[in-house]
Amino acid sequence: MNILNTPFATPYNTAPFSKIENEHFLPAFKIAIDEAKKEIDAITASLEKPSFKNTIEVLEFSGQQLDRISSIFFNLNSAETNDTIQKIAQEVSPLLSEFSNDITLNEDLFKRVKAVYDIKDTLDLTVEQQTLLDKKYKGFSRNGANLPKDKKQQLRTIDKQLSQLKLKFGENVLAETNNFEMLITDESELSGLPEGTIEAAKQLAESKDKEGWLFTLDYPSYIPLMTYADNRELRKKLAIAAGKKAFKGDELDNQKNVLDIAKLRFERAQLLGYKTHAHFVLEERMAKTPQKVEAFLEELLTKAKPAALREFSELKEFAQQLDGIDQMEKWDSAYYAEKLKQKLFDLDDEKLKPYFKLENVINGAFLVAEKLYGLHFEEITNIDRYHDDVLTYKVTDEKGDLVSIFYADFFPRPGKRNGAWMTSYKPQYVKDEINERPHISIVCNFTKPTKSKPSLLTFNEVTTLFHEFGHALHGMLANTTYPSLSGTSVFWDFVELPSQVFENWCYEKDALELFATHYETGELIPMDLVQKIKDSAAFHEGMQTLRQLSFGLLDMSWHGINPIGIKDVKLHETQAFEGTQLFPDVAENCMSTSFSHIFQGGYSSGYYSYKWAEVLDADAFEFFQEKGIFDKEVATKFKDNILSQGGIEDPMVLYKRFRGHEPQPDALLKRAGLVEK
């Protein structure tokens, strides 16, 4: 029997990574799909009158084996992939898409769900049960259950095509990232680069039997070079290479994939009776409509643009005075911004890094979680890992009860996509009176330890770790009955609140004192440096806001219109960026072809949610600041009303229960220095 289709005889029911072979996956998926189909057939064959218990609840807990296999497989496809896994993904994705359609287009099943939905007001349901019933009904109605037969077939075809296109898009971006290498053999070209970056580049070259220093498009390699390299030509070469990923007219080009994905999403929305893909998506978001999103983005743009133009003008003047730069280019931005930041705040990321040894920062996140929510983290070695780099922890509460299993994976490698994310290997839910605890994972790409130095994080990487850990807390502290409403299963523009709010502790003296000690001397980070971190937090916030808004506007430009008329990806993108552009355009670059968030991930029509969640997070953290950043009462309110509640109620209801009022943008604008405090 396939190991993936049997109960795992492992500690805490964890995934048995060491026993799973690639060839197990495809047969396991097929068996699990068949099992899930039988479970659905049992619901539709029932002679009992449809009820919440025999239809909605049974449907909710069907396909659990399939969900588990999917989470293991697709998490590996992101964090530890190879050619075989990618090939399996191309085969499996259409099968899963087909199965999903088999459910949502199953007329007999929909009839039973609708029968329960139609009498919902007469049923004595809890709030969570009402939400689940609404979600199940909409899962059908929003995915074609009310369509005639021919349109249902059309929908199936579109969904199958989309699942394959999104995978292909992501594979091309990963291949492009892995394919680029820049070998430097002249040591003088390394001028300005931090010692740790030079050592890491040397080690990378050695690992590939090359003489010199090797740089790639992985963030720990790319960011330091763009920020510190004095050699402008090197910065230019690397920036252009990053910007033209999947935009070269070769077999890894994503232009056609972008156009096809946008058009198919539009066709799908139209088929279901929505004006655009954005109208379809936003119906299930806090924002509700594209108009609301566009108004939100425009309002922030109005507030941020004067500050951004002022900051850009100062940066241009600074680069001109320092190095006689007449025309600022994109590859100058991080370099001169870092130099200006050092001048204004006497704050150099390299001076900060010794205080942010990775192990200490992890411990710091744990200590903050302990002080706020009473959690305890213990590293364990008795569970399987999918790679030697992965750390594993048992998380318990103040009573010693299991809260979660936690995986942490911090370093880049060829089989791992760029960026940082949180995910889950097993959701939390309650079944047969047992509260099943979740298995949560965070994945990042930080600088690896070298022969002479441990992994030392930039301050930006510290906030990234805290951000993903904030998502992890949302997953770990979940306490709902139903898996589809648990943890991060919330409206997309609410999901970033727990992650973004947790970043705030990185700027607070009381939190930094818990973990920011020099890796060699053990000396606590000097408080004048902490003050400088706080003072510089709003540095170039206008330009940063403009950049985020440009991505949100680009997203809406693909998904908030009929894209059929778009023939040229680059031209369309240039027009979308018109109101937010500061730097001259780079002809050979295009962002859309590697904009994985919206063309592969789940952020289509949702990129605005980062800024939306910033409004929520600034407003929420203001509450902590009023009472004290470790105030138990506020922390408990946040845990009880936000972190543990998942998606059991409308997020605005949950937020108001925590905060006492709707979120106000003033806190964000003040924090960002875009209005007077």
d(CA 158, CA 479): 36
The answer as to whether 10 is a domain residue is: yes
> In this structure, are residues 395 and 377 in contact, taking their beta carbons and an 8 Å threshold?
yes
Beta-sheet pairing, 402-409 with 439-443: parallel
Q: Which of 473, 506, 523 is the last residue of a domain?
A: 523
- Annotated catalytic residue within 57, 60, 461, 468: 468
Q: Please give the C-alpha separations between residue 422 and each of 66, 92, 410, 465, 572, in angstroms, as whole numbers.
A: 20, 23, 12, 10, 32
42: domain CATH number?
1.20.1050.40
Whether 66 and 205 share a structural domain: no
pLDDT tens per residue across span 392-425: 999 999 999 999 999 999 999 999 988 999 999 9
366: domain CATH number?
1.10.1370.40
Whether 485 and 377 share a structural domain: yes
Taking phi over 0 as left and psi of -120 to 50 as alpha, with beta for the rest, 601 belongs to: beta
pLDDT tens per residue across span 137-183: 999 999 899 899 999 999 999 999 999 999 999 999 999 999 999 99
Whether 413 and 364 share a structural domain: yes
Query: Which of 306-310, 352-356, 535-539, 649-653 has the weakest average pLDDT?
Result: 535-539
Encoded tokens for 556: 């809406």
Helix crossing, 290-323 with 541-559: angle to 10°?
Answer: 140
Whether 142 and 225 share a structural domain: no
pLDDT band at 677 (very low <50, low <70, confident <90, very high): low
Across 139-265, where does the E strand assignment appear?
182-184, 213-215
The answer as to whether 575 is a domain residue is: no
Token pair 């980062």: residue: 610
Beta bridge partners of 439: 405, 426
Q: Is the pLDDT of residue 434 over 60?
A: yes
* pLDDT score at 332: 98
pLDDT tens per residue across span 309-337: 999 999 999 999 999 999 999 999 999 99
Encoded tokens for 652: 């605005």
Whether 20 and 99 share a structural domain: yes
> In this structure, are residues 634 and 627 in contact, taking their beta carbons and an 8 Å threshold?
yes
DSSP 559-592: HSS-GGG---HHHHHHHHTGGG--SPP-TT--SG
Residue 468 falls in the annotated catalytic set: yes
Q: Is the pLDDT of residue 367 over 60?
A: yes
pLDDT tens per residue across span 454-502: 999 999 999 999 999 999 999 999 999 999 999 999 998 899 999 999 9
pLDDT tens per residue across span 215-250: 999 988 999 999 999 999 999 999 999 999 999 999
Q: What is the mean pLDDT of residues 2-29?
A: 96
Looking at mean pLDDT, say which of 130-134, 156-160, 285-289 comes out highest: 130-134
Whether 123 and 236 share a structural domain: no
The answer as to whether 13 is a domain residue is: yes
d(CA 486, CA 473): 12
Q: Which of 523, 549, 576 is the last residue of a domain?
A: 523
Q: Is the pLDDT of residue 356 over 70?
A: yes
Beta-sheet pairing, 429-431 with 182-184: unpaired
d(CA 555, CA 607): 7
The CA radius of gyration of the chain, in Å to the nearest whole number, is 25
> In this structure, are residues 182 and 241 in contact, taking their beta carbons and an 8 Å threshold?
yes
| DSSP 8-state secondary structure symbol assigned to residue 389 | T
Q: Is the pLDDT of residue 659 over 90?
A: yes
Whether 364 and 509 share a structural domain: yes
Burial 594-624 (b: 16+ CB within 10 A, else e): bbbbbbbbebbbbbbbbbbbbbbbbbbbbbb
The answer as to whether 390 is a domain residue is: yes
The answer as to whether 529 is a domain residue is: no
Q: What is the mean pLDDT of residues 528-553?
A: 92
Q: Please give the C-alpha separations between residue 333 and each of 235, 338, 463, in angstroms, as whole numbers.
A: 10, 8, 21
Whether 66 and 115 share a structural domain: yes
Edge-to-edge, what's the strand order for the sheet holding 439-443? 376-379, 391-396, 402-409, 439-443, 421-426
Q: Is the pLDDT of residue 77 over 70?
A: yes
Residue 578 CB contacts under 8 Å (≥ 6 apart), including other chains = none
Whether 136 and 14 share a structural domain: yes
The answer as to whether 313 is a domain residue is: no
The answer as to whether 514 is a domain residue is: yes
Whether 128 and 192 share a structural domain: no
Across 54-198, where does the E strand assignment appear?
182-184
Q: Which of 2, 36, 8, 42 is nearest to 21 (CA)?
A: 2
Q: Which of 235, 191, 224 is nearest to 329 (CA)?
A: 235
Encoded tokens for 537: 């937090």
Residue 17 CB contacts under 8 Å (≥ 6 apart), including other chains = 384, 385, 386
The answer as to whether 567 is a domain residue is: no
Whether 374 and 519 share a structural domain: yes
* pLDDT score at 676: 66
Q: Which domain holds residue 112?
A: 3-104+106-146
The chain-wide mean pLDDT, for the chain, equals: 95
Q: Please give the C-alpha separations between residue 25 and each of 31, 74, 89, in angstroms, as whole numbers.
A: 10, 11, 9
Q: Is the pLDDT of residue 339 over 80?
A: yes
Q: Which of 460, 492, 523 is the last residue of a domain?
A: 523
Across 45-197, where does the E strand assignment appear?
182-184
H-helix or E-strand spanning residue 436: strand 434-436
Whether 371 and 516 share a structural domain: yes
Number of folded domains in the chain? 3
